Amino acid sequence: MRVLSGIQPSGRLHIGNYFGMMRPALELQERGEAFLFIANYHALTTVHDADALRRATWEVALDFLACGLDPERTAFYRQSDVPEVCELAWLLSVVAPMGLLERCHSYKDKIARGISPSHGLFAYPVLMAADILAVQAEIVPVGRDQKQHVEVTRDIAIKFNNEFGPVFRVPEPAIRDEVAVVPGLDGQKMSKSYGNTIDLFGDPAETRRRIMRIVTDSRSVAEPKDPDACTVFALYRLFATEEERRTMAERYRAGGLGYAAAKQALAEKLEAHFEPMRLRRAELAASPDKVEAALRRGAERARAEARRTLAAARRAVGLD
C-alpha cells in the first residue's frame, strides 16, 4: 500500500498538527510504503517572505525527524525538490473543470478570511492532485476539511484517464478523525489562524503560560465539573493513559479539583511527552548535514516515481 501525506510550512507546528497529522503520518511507516512531503510550493499561496519560508521549511523537517520519522522507511522530501509535480499540474489543469475548482470550500474559506485571491490559491487543488498522482499514491490520509481535495484529485485523474488513457492510479481518502478533536486555548479547533495554539517545541516557560490561559468556566474549586465539556481535560486525555484519564475524570466529577491544578497536570504531561523529542531535535539542529541528506534521499525516491508518471502522462497527451 502506497500512502502519501503532506504538510505546509506556514508557521511553527503545534500539538494540533502533531495529533491530527504528524503522529498518524508517522504510524504509516509501519503499515506501508510512505511518502511525506513539506508542501513549500503550496505555502507560497500565503507566505511571501523568502527567509520565513526557508526557516519554516527547515523547522518542519526538524520537527518530523525529532518526532520519530525514519527517512529509511519514509520518503521524506521538500515539494520543491520534485519539480516534476509542476509540469504534471499543468497537464492536469487542461482537464480540470472550472466548476469543480469553483466549488472547493478551502478557496472560499480563505477568501472569507481576507486572503487575497490568486490563481495559485484557486488552482491549489490541481497542484495537490499532482502531488498525489505523481507518486501514484493509493491512500491519502486527510482531515475532513481536506477530503474534498482528494475527491477533486479522483475526479481529475478519472477525467484524464478517460481522455488520454490509463495513466493514473485513482487514490482513496482515509479520513483522520483526530483532527477535529484537538481544541485550542479558546476551545475552538487549534489553528494558527485563530492564534489559539500550543507550539510543539516552544519555549517551556511560554508553553506553561499558554496552558494556564486556557479558557474555562467560572466554577469554584469545590464544585463538581464536567470533564467532557472542558478544554483542559480534552487536551490532557491526548497525553494520558486510560487509567490516568479515568482518575482525572473522577476528580473532575467529585469536586475539589480546581482548573489551575488540572492545567498544571496537563503541562507536566505535555512536557514529559515531548522532552525526549526536544532533545533529539536539538541534536538534529546541530547536525544540519544529516537533515539535508535525509531530505535529498527522500527527494530522489519521489523524483524517480514522478519522472515515470510524468513520462507516461507526456506520452499520453502527445508531448513525448
Tens of pLDDT, residue by residue over 262-308, are 999 999 999 999 999 999 999 999 999 999 999 999 999 999 999 99
Give residue-wise pLDDT tens across range 31-58. Answer: 789 999 999 999 999 899 999 999 999 9
Q: Does 294 lie in the same domain as 252?
A: no
Check residue 111 and give its pLDDT: 76
Average the pLDDT over each of 50-59, 121-130, 144-153 and give the range with the smallest value. Answer: 144-153
R_g over Cα of the chain = 21
Tell me what the pLDDT averaged over the chain comes to.
93
Q: Does 112 lie in the same domain as 138?
A: yes
In 10 A of CB 109, how many CB atoms? 12
- Within-domain flag for 187: no
Check residue 177 and give its pLDDT: 56
Tally of structural domains, the chain: 2
Q: 81 is in which domain, residue-wise? A: 2-182+288-317
Q: Does 172 lie in the same domain as 102?
A: yes
Mean pLDDT of 51-70: 97
Region of residue 203 (phi > 0: left; psi between -120 and 50: alpha; otherwise: beta): beta
Q: Does 251 lie in the same domain as 115?
A: no
Q: Does 197 lie in the same domain as 177?
A: no
DSSP-based three-state secondary structure for 169 = coil
Strand order in the sheet with 2-7: 74-78, 33-38, 2-7, 139-142, 172-175
Q: Does 138 lie in the same domain as 157?
A: yes
In 10 A of CB 71, how many CB atoms? 20
Q: Does 217 lie in the same domain as 117?
A: no
Which among 108, 147, 159, 192 is annotated as catalytic? 192
Q: Residue 159 catalytic?
A: no
Q: Residue 110 catalytic?
A: yes
Pick the more confident residue, 157 or 143: 157
Q: Does 310 lie in the same domain as 221?
A: no
Distance CA 130, CA 171 (A): 12
Check residue 193 and give its pLDDT: 77
For residues 202 and 270, the answer to whether their CB atoms sit within 8 Å is no
For residues 316 and 163, the answer to whether their CB atoms sit within 8 Å is no
Q: What is the CATH number of the domain that holds 298?
A: 3.40.50.620
Whether residue 146 has pLDDT greater than 80: no
C-alpha cell recorded at residue 23: 503522529
> Reduced to 3 DSSP states, what percent helix, strand and coil does the chain have, rounded to the nearest 5?
60, 10, 30
Q: Does 271 lie in the same domain as 155?
A: no
41, 42, 39, 31: which is closest to 3 by C-alpha?
A: 31
Q: Does 166 lie in the same domain as 69?
A: yes
Check residue 181 and give its pLDDT: 67
Which among 110, 225, 263, 269 is annotated as catalytic? 110
Distance CA 261, CA 278 (A): 25
Distance CA 176, CA 123 (A): 24
Give residue-wise pLDDT tens across range 152-197. Answer: 999 999 999 999 999 999 999 887 654 446 999 999 989 887 899 9
β-bridge mates for residue 2, sequence order: 33
Q: Does 246 lie in the same domain as 121?
A: no
Q: Does 304 lie in the same domain as 271?
A: no
Check residue 176 and give its pLDDT: 64
- Within-domain flag for 37: yes
Q: Residue 192 catalytic?
A: yes
- Within-domain flag for 244: yes
Q: What is the CATH number of the domain that holds 197?
A: 1.10.240.10
Mean pLDDT of 74-102: 96
For residues 74 and 34, the answer to whether their CB atoms sit within 8 Å is yes
State the pLDDT confidence band at 24, using cuts at 50, 70 and 90: confident
The string over 178-213, giving b where at least 16 C-beta atoms fall within 10 Å of a residue's C-beta and e elsewhere, is bbeebbbbeeebbebeeebbbbbbbeeeebbebbee
Distance CA 38, CA 11 (A): 12
Which among 159, 189, 225, 269 is annotated as catalytic? 189
Mean pLDDT of 85-111: 89
